[in-house]
Amino acid sequence: MPKPADDHITSLVNARIVLPGGVREGALHITGGTIAAEPGSGAVLDLGGRYVVPGFVDMHVHGGAGASYQLGRPDEARRAADFHLAHGTTTTMASLVTGDPDELAAAVAGLADLAADGVLAGIHLEGPYLARDRCGAHDPALLRAPDPAEFDRLVRIGRGHVRMITLAPELPGALDLVRAAADAGVIAAVGHTDGTGETARAAFDAGARVATHLFNAMRPLHHREGGPIAAALNDPRVTVELINDGVHVESAVARLAFAASPRVALITDAMAAAGMGDGDYRLGVMDVEVRDGRALLAGGTSIAGSTITMADAFRRAVTDVGLPIERAAAAASLTPARALGIDSRVGSLEPGKDADLAVLDDDLRIAWVMRKGRRV
């Protein structure tokens, strides 16, 4: 479908609009960058019955288009964010893997400027307070025990833009850091953990509200000790992230997660190789080999992030997992927006919210994207 010539569209007509409660056929109106209840006087675009879904919200992503967020370099960060935006992610976090204290501080400082400019929705610290036995693609030499002073420094440098931190709750001092994060307005996420279900429940009671990439890099589910997976799925306060690429979690297991919880948030966990094809890459200080779209630590078997976009994760949720399109759209938009506390502005196509959306072709692939009422 050709893109409209006029960026100032005020009505999308003959559309199938995907809302939290189902699909409504008709028109979607836009005024001043927000979704409106009534039509304006600008351009009208006939979508020919195509779907319109909310812009995706990716709460866990490390890079894309050959660029990484890890060093906090503005040019690289913008390139990664622009790549994912073109694939429907209108709201994106910037995730950082474990690094040394000065490297993390420099990256947070650089990314905070982009968050202040609205390029990013915030910063996610994945580590460095992770379990050695479940560290995945993080450098074990850089892992350390929770350090309140370091955390306070990163929050201060981030100027309010550090939004989430993933940590293993069984580590010494971890529960105190969960409480400190909650007090600082930072979401604590349980992940890269070998802790028991009891430990995970203690973390949720202390204020943790997210489970980082459920099933991956955590003690597995067992029928006599459900571990952090069962604890997260059973807790109505907790949003569970899911990497729906068919590599990290097979579709049958993803189906179980969606059946168990209404709070599944699709994420990409994408690294620099997303959109680039097979080759050799870096994730933090670790070397990564991408072969057939699968990212592994060089010479090993540990998965090192993904190479997908949110558009891929959403489409697979419909075509492979078997979700209704409105459930898949919510998992890719409204659920993560709620987890981040920004659902009053983004996450669904309701009047008063930002006009962030994606128009899909007949194969549920991105035709074009709008952010704050303007095509990108």
Express each pLDDT in 69-85 by its tens digit.
Answer: 999 999 999 999 999 99
| pLDDT tens string 107-126 | 999 999 999 999 999 999 99
Cα 79 from Cα 162, distance rounded (Å): 20
For the chain, what is the mean pLDDT?
95
Widest CA span in the chain? 62
Residue 196 class from Cβ within 10 Å (0-12 exposed, 13-18 middle, 19+ buried)? middle
Q: Does 137 show up as a binding residue in the annotation?
A: yes
Domains and CATH numbers, the chain: 9-54+350-375 (2.30.40.10), 56-340 (3.20.20.140)
Average pLDDT over residues 119-147: 96
Residue 79 in marked binding region: no
- The pLDDT assigned to 284 comes to 86
pLDDT of residue 40: 84
pLDDT for res 7: 55
pLDDT for residue 5 = 44
CA distance 327 to 77: 30
The whole-number pLDDT of residue 1 equals 46
Tell me what percent of the residues of the chain surpass a pLDDT of 70.
98
Q: Is 305 annotated as a binding residue?
A: yes
Tokens of 208: 């943790």
Taking residues 42-71, what's their average pLDDT? 96
Q: Each residue of 297-333: pLDDT tens digit?
A: 898 888 989 999 999 999 999 999 999 999 999 999 9
Residue 61's nearest CA partner among 86, 89, 88 is 89
Residue 45 pLDDT exceeds 60: yes
pLDDT digit string, tens, across residues 83-98: 999 999 999 999 999 9
pLDDT at 255: 98
> Is 62 marked as a binding-site residue?
no
- Residues annotated as catalytic are 269
pTM summary value? 0.96
Q: pLDDT for 208-258, tens place per residue?
A: 999 999 999 999 999 999 999 999 999 999 999 999 999 999 999 999 999
Residue 315 marked in a binding site = no
| pLDDT at residue 211, rounded to an integer | 98
Q: Is 213 annotated as a binding residue?
A: yes
Query: Residue 270: its pLDDT value, please?
Result: 97
Q: Which of 62, 76, 95 is nearest to 161 (CA)?
A: 95
Query: Does 217 appear as a known binding residue?
Result: yes
Which has the higher per-residue pLDDT, 321 or 2?
321
Report the SS3 class of residue 28. Answer: strand
174 is in an annotated binding site: no
Q: Which pLDDT band holds residue 6 (cuts at 50, 70, 90)?
A: very low
Q: Which helix (H) or strand (E) holds 56?
A: strand 56-58
**Which tens digit of pLDDT belongs to each residue from 158-208?**
999 999 999 999 999 999 999 999 999 999 999 999 999 999 999 999 999
Q: Is 161 annotated as a binding residue?
A: no
Q: Provide the 8-state DSSP code for 218.
A: B
Residue 1's Cβ-count burial label (10 Å; 0-12, 13-18, 19+) is middle
